Amino acid sequence: MGTLHKTKGDQISNGVKIAVIDYGMGNLGSVVKACNSFGADTRIIVNAQDFDTADKIILPGVGAFGDAATELKKRSLDKLIKDKIKQGLLFLGICLGMHLLLDSSQEAPGEAGLGLIPGQVVRFKDEGIKVPHIGWNQIEKNGDNPLLKAIEDKSYVYFCHSYYVCPDDKGIIITTTDYGAKFASIISKDNIFGIQFHPEKSQKTGLKILENFIKL
């Protein structure tokens, strides 16, 4: 069993069980706190055997691609994620957690990602732009998606990254963001969602997106 995180003032549980994957490389406090504030019952999963039951999985974004991919494998979390996604659990990858869904990344050549979304993670070309892309930028919607319920087009969200995903199937891109060129800031394929920015750091807009995910 994972650790049950509950603090005073959290909403009464609405019964949605969220497993937040912890691969030992960064903080999950903001993500956990945000989920709990929407009534979710959030557990932190450090190893595959910690996983008991969950309705949804969140893979937050911290660290660099190579080390993160290695850690996931070491903890058998790669297999767990693939199995649970196959079983139909809703999955959300944030920043690096989104990158890990793809086949590979220029950040760590030769290191395999989860391969759940065909495509590559590439680095911004620093021609006329500063890399990393750090700060508040806008998301432009490509049509409707339940994750974007009540989110206005061109809302500002917080980015902090040097790499972005290039999925083979452009049809899964549900928002783009302009930085030098347009890149995929949210993708959605079947039960998998990936977000390039940090919803847990994007104040009202970000929290609404997390709430949408929890209530899907």
Partner 1 sequence: MLTKRIIPCLDVKDGRVVKGVKFKELKDAGDPVESAIYYDSEGADELVFLDITASSDKRGIMIDVVKRVAESIFMPFTVGGGVCNTEDIRDLLNAGADKVSMNTAAIKHPDLISATSRRFGSQCIVIAVDAKRREPQEGKPPGWELYINGGRTPTELDAIEWIKKAEKLGAGEILLTSMDADGTKNGYDLELTKAVSGAVKIPVIASGGAGSVSDFYDVLTKGCADAALAASLFHYRQLSIAGVKNYLSEKGVSVRI
User: Does 11 participate in binding partner 1 (rule CB under 8 A)?
Assistant: no
Nearer to partner 1, 167 or 199 (CB): 199
Q: Which is nearer to partner 1, 85 or 147 (CB)?
A: 147
Question: Which residues between 107 and 126 bind partner 1 (CB under 8 A)?
Answer: 126
Of the residues 13, 52, 79, 135, which one makes contact with partner 1 according to CB under 8 A: 135
Tell me how far, at minimum, the Cβ of 203 lies from partner 1, in Å. Answer: 5
Options 2, 17, 25, 48; binder of partner 1; rule CB under 8 A? 25
| Distant-in-sequence, close-in-space partners of 9: CB < 8 Å, separation ≥ 6 | none
Cis peptide before 132 (omega within 30 of 0): yes
Token pair listed for 8:
């005073």
What stretches of the chain show up as alpha helix (H) in DSSP? Answer: 29-37, 65-74, 77-86, 96-99, 203-215
Q: Which of residues 78-97 bind partner 1 (CB under 8 A)?
A: 96
| List 1, 4, 7, 88, residue binding partner 1 (CB under 8 A) | 7
| Backbone torsions φ then ψ of 44, nearest 5 degrees | -95, 130
- Residues annotated as catalytic are 95, 198, 200
Three-state secondary structure call for residue 73: helix
- What is the amino acid identity at position 111? E
Instruction: Pick the closest to residue 21 from 13, 146, 63, 9 (CA basis).
Output: 63
What distance, in Å, lies between the first and last C-alpha atoms of the chain?
Answer: 24
Q: Interface mask (CB under 8 A) for partner 1, residues 163-202, using x and -?
A: ---------------xx------------------x-xxx
Does position 18 interact with partner 1 (CB under 8 A)? The reply is no
DSSP letter assigned to residue 207: H
Residue 44 interacting with partner 1 (CB under 8 A): no
Residues forming the site for partner 1 (CB under 8 A): 7, 25-27, 29-30, 33-34, 62-64, 67, 96, 126, 129-138, 156, 158-162, 178-179, 198, 200-203, 206-207
